[in-house]
Amino acid sequence: MLSRLKPLIIAMALCSSAQAFESFEIADIRVEGLQRIAPGTVFNYLPVKVGDRFDEQESERAIRSLFRSGYFKDIELERENGVLVVKVVERPAISSIKLKGNKDIETEPLLDSLRDIGFAEGQVFNRSLLEKVEQELERQYFSRGKYGVNIETTVTPLDRNRVGILIDVSEGVVARIKQINIVGNDEFKDETLLDQFEQSTSGFFSFYTKNDQYSKQKLAADLETLRSWYQDRGYIKFNIESTQVAITPDKKDIYITINVSEGAQYRVSDIKLSGDLVLPPEELFPEFQINAGEVFSRKQVTSTVTRLSDKLGNRGYAFANVNTVPDVNEETREVALTFFVDPGKRVYVRRINFSGNIKTRDDVLRQEMRQMEGGWFSAQKVERSRTRLQRLGFFEQVNVETPAVPASPDQVDVNYSVTEQPSGSISLGIGFSQTSGVLLNGSISQNNFLGTGRRVSAAINNSAVNRLYSFSYLNPYYTIDGISRGFGMFYRETDADEANITRYSTDTYGANMTYGFPVSETDTFRFGFTADSLKLKLSNFASNEVRAFVDQNGDSFKTFGITGSWAHDTRNRRVFPTKGGIQSISLEAKVPGSELEYYKITGKMERYIPLTNLLVLEAQGEVGWGDGFGDFDSLPFFENFFAGGVRSVRGYEDNSLGPRDSTNDPLGGSFRTVGTLAISFPPPFLTETNSVRLSAFYDIGNVFPGTENFDVNDLRMSVGIAGTWLSPVGPLAISIAQPFNDQSGDDLQEFQFTLGAGF
């Protein structure tokens, strides 16, 4: 306290001594006592200059101004004839700042934040600022639940008017919520209400979720959740009377008590629409989520207001406002709801403007627009257009603004600003998988070729299983209606024995052309043509099944085929989605008259359901079947389906499930079914990352000679944990699985991984 008052005492003393000054004209100004600070700094703060009259009032002003600079801890003003002598004692400079004992808060980021407030090496030492630093450190530890933190600072004087500062932190332990009591609840049990809270007492997963660490902000959110929970069940008069938070003397346990008043449950007696109904009531009433006779629900009322506003907004009433006017009857415990509509003026779009697209042409962006110039404004279409731009993959960021047109209250412009990112790549990579061995690959691709939005790529891949050379081209807007067209050429050498299946190899080359037809915003149909030539090569150890096929059909085939697929995609993103799903069905068939005649049909389903902010439930299933026709009474063996491995039923060796040939190598089958149920989540200490995901999974599936051979008792199952990392050299997938209904002869592989292969 004495150190705080010292400047004030000095100032008062100097002010009283200044009264002895007789007014004089300053002939010169001399500064004494400076060590680091330049004289010009003192002159800048002095409110007087040579030639001014100096008196009692100016003396007080000069002292205040110099002290206010924060550079000095002592100031004296003297007169030598006509010279004003300013004697100062500088505050010490901070020579070093060291932190000790801080584990939760990293040193470098903390020093950076201190530098922002002027507390850093080389700056003038200010005791009051150090106290603020201590308070801020305490606040940060409190926010982490460490209420027993103790911070001690030591200021060590050094030579040349410097100080060294040591901040010694004793963090203590995290205070845990020991008990949460709710008082006054008669209609619902404590357990039911506490299940709605984000915070809780310690449980099995608390080490990961940290839900047992007290936070004032989280408690406020939990109280609002509790209020909403009651009001969604008709308790309009529900009120939280008080909240007490107590901490034990050792700062380790926290007790929370919440006093509530439930009130009575209310029902909805009537629902009305009023105001300026620019749309017919029969168009608005289907948007209602609450009806007369039902228990009142604030959530349903809010949802109704949102849906009504969106309905009007999508019809051009961009500034529509819908208010709910409740009429509460205390005697009957009923509430009549009136939804008052104020649509405002109908708005249409004057222009759609783009900025930031230096390389990408405007017409590429306009192709993605669902909001049209000259049309009525639709918030839904504006946002959908932004999403489509983002999903192009050309832009790092896409923002949209809808400013009103000056002097035209019924017009807006839609301005999209984009930040372009590299859309092409040249890569050389190396990877490894347990089945394919070393994977060498190189590719050059450009997804936005010359800014046209067209995609061009060429690739070379080499592994023990496959050697592939390919080229492809795709124009996503071959027509103005959004029909896409692409074509490609390839040459592939395959050694099946290296893939852990029956022994043969093939050389294949061919070309393809595909068309895509957008049916809706979420549905796409694709159709294509293929032409290829395949040459079978048999080893001396080829199985009887392989030799029989060659003896009957030959070893060289030229074919023409068709492909078709339909996909319904509602995922929020394509990599590591957290909600939505995708359903698809695809067909591959060789046309009659080809040297091979067969078809393959595959149906897939993926569904993602968020359980919490971190946990996502994933359900995936796939069914594939095929058969021959014409001169072929079955699917060619080299087109068979396979299962087992890191990308299907984990815990079993790649491609090892299903029928075997005469040499006991996997032969595959014409019918496959696989499925996965998993809970995925980011790593515990990397919850913000988008490149790593962990999961606990249950896999099931198998391959059968045909649909008639399917037997649910033959399905193989496994459980385990897995991780996927989008590494700089390609995706790394790792799994540890435990099969639990394997049969004699199954090839098991509990630990599996692959690096650098697509997924």
What's the domain range around 158?
93-170
| Percent over 90 (pLDDT), the chain | 31
What is the model's pLDDT at position 442?
52
Asked if the model's pLDDT at residue 687 lies above 70, the reply is: no
Entry field: residues in the chain:
759
What is the model's pLDDT at position 324?
92
54 burial class (0-12, 13-18, 19+ CB within 10 angstroms)? buried
What is the model's pLDDT at position 517?
92
Residue type, 475: N
Domain CATH number, residue 553: 2.40.160.50
What is the model's pLDDT at position 443?
56
| Percent over 70 (pLDDT), the chain | 91
Q: Determine the Cα–Cα distance for residues 545 and 362; give it in Å rounded to an integer.
A: 58
What is the model's pLDDT at position 561?
94
Considering the chain, what is the average pLDDT of its residues? 84
Give the residue, 451 or 402, on which the prediction is more confident.
402
311, 282 contact by CB (below 8 A): no
Instruction: State whether 387 and 461 are in the same domain.
Output: no
What is the model's pLDDT at position 24?
87
Q: Determine the Cα–Cα distance for residues 338 and 92; give it in Å rounded to an integer.
A: 69
Residue type, 117: I
Asked if the model's pLDDT at residue 756 lies above 70, the reply is: no
The stretch 591-604 carries a mean pLDDT of 92
What is the model's pLDDT at position 436?
45
Which stretches does DSSP call E strand in 447-576? Answer: 455-462, 466-475, 484-495, 505-518, 523-537, 556-569
What is the model's pLDDT at position 558?
93
Instruction: State how beta strands 505-518 and 484-495 pair.
Output: antiparallel
Instruction: State how beta strands 408-420 and 348-355 pair.
Output: parallel
651, 749 contact by CB (below 8 A): yes
122 sits in the region (left: phi over 0; alpha: psi -120 to 50; else beta) called: left
Give the residue, 367 or 352, on which the prediction is more confident.
352
62, 48 contact by CB (below 8 A): yes
Instruction: Name the residue with tokens 């027993």.
Output: 148
Q: Determine the Cα–Cα distance for residues 142 and 159; give it in Å rounded to an integer.
A: 37
What confidence tier does 297 reach under pLDDT thresholds 50, 70, 90? Answer: very high
320, 347 contact by CB (below 8 A): no
Is pTM beyond 0.75? Reply is no
582, 571 contact by CB (below 8 A): yes
Residue type, 303: S
Asked if the model's pLDDT at residue 749 lies above 90, the reply is: no
What confidence tier does 758 reach under pLDDT thresholds 50, 70, 90? Answer: very low
Q: Which one of 128, 146, 170 terminates a domain?
A: 170
Asked if the model's pLDDT at residue 698 lies above 50, the reply is: yes
Instruction: State whether 214 and 279 are in the same domain.
Output: no
Instruction: State whether 283 and 296 are in the same domain.
Output: yes
Q: Which one of 68, 90, 112 terminates a domain?
A: 90
The dihedral of CA 206, 210, 214, 219: what is its sign? negative
Instruction: State whether 363 and 445 are in the same domain.
Output: no
Task: Find the range with the poorest average confidence among 256-265, 422-431, 599-608, 707-716.
Answer: 422-431
Give the residue, 704 or 36, on which the prediction is more confident.
704
Q: CA-based angle 578:583:586, to the nearest 5? A: 140
Asked if the model's pLDDT at residue 327 lies above 80, the reply is: yes
DSSP string, 43-69: HHH-S--TTSEE-HHHHHHHHHHHHHT
Instruction: State whether 603 and 691 are in the same domain.
Output: yes
What confidence tier does 15 reach under pLDDT thresholds 50, 70, 90? Answer: very low
The tally of domains found in the chain comes to 6
Asked if the model's pLDDT at residue 182 lies above 80, the reply is: yes
Instruction: State whether 569 and 646 are in the same domain.
Output: yes
What is the model's pLDDT at position 335?
93
What confidence tier does 104 reach under pLDDT thresholds 50, 70, 90? Answer: confident
Domain CATH number, residue 163: 3.10.20.310
**Measuring CA to CA, which residue among 431, 421, 425 is closest to residue 443?**
425
Instruction: State whether 224 and 320 are in the same domain.
Output: no
User: pLDDT for 426-480, tens place per residue?
Assistant: 444 444 444 444 444 455 666 677 777 788 888 777 766 778 888 998 888 888 8
What is the model's pLDDT at position 5?
37
Residue 664 neighbours by CB under 8 Å, 6+ apart: none
Take residue 353 and report the two structure tokens written for it.
Answer: 């403007």
Instruction: State whether 74 and 216 are in the same domain.
Output: no
What is the model's pLDDT at position 582?
93
User: pLDDT for 55-78, tens place per residue?
Assistant: 888 888 888 888 887 788 888 888
Instruction: State whether 562 and 632 are in the same domain.
Output: yes
Q: Determine the Cα–Cα distance for residues 296 and 265; give it in Å rounded to an integer.
A: 8
Instruction: State whether 401 and 429 are in the same domain.
Output: no
Residue type, 568: H
Q: Which one of 261, 292, 324 terminates a domain?
A: 261
Q: Where are the alpha helices (DSSP H) in 508-649?
A: 544-553
The stretch 226-231 carries a mean pLDDT of 92
335, 268 contact by CB (below 8 A): yes
User: pLDDT for 190-201, tens place per residue?
Assistant: 889 998 898 888
Instruction: State whether 388 and 428 are in the same domain.
Output: no
Instruction: State whether 461 and 414 are in the same domain.
Output: no
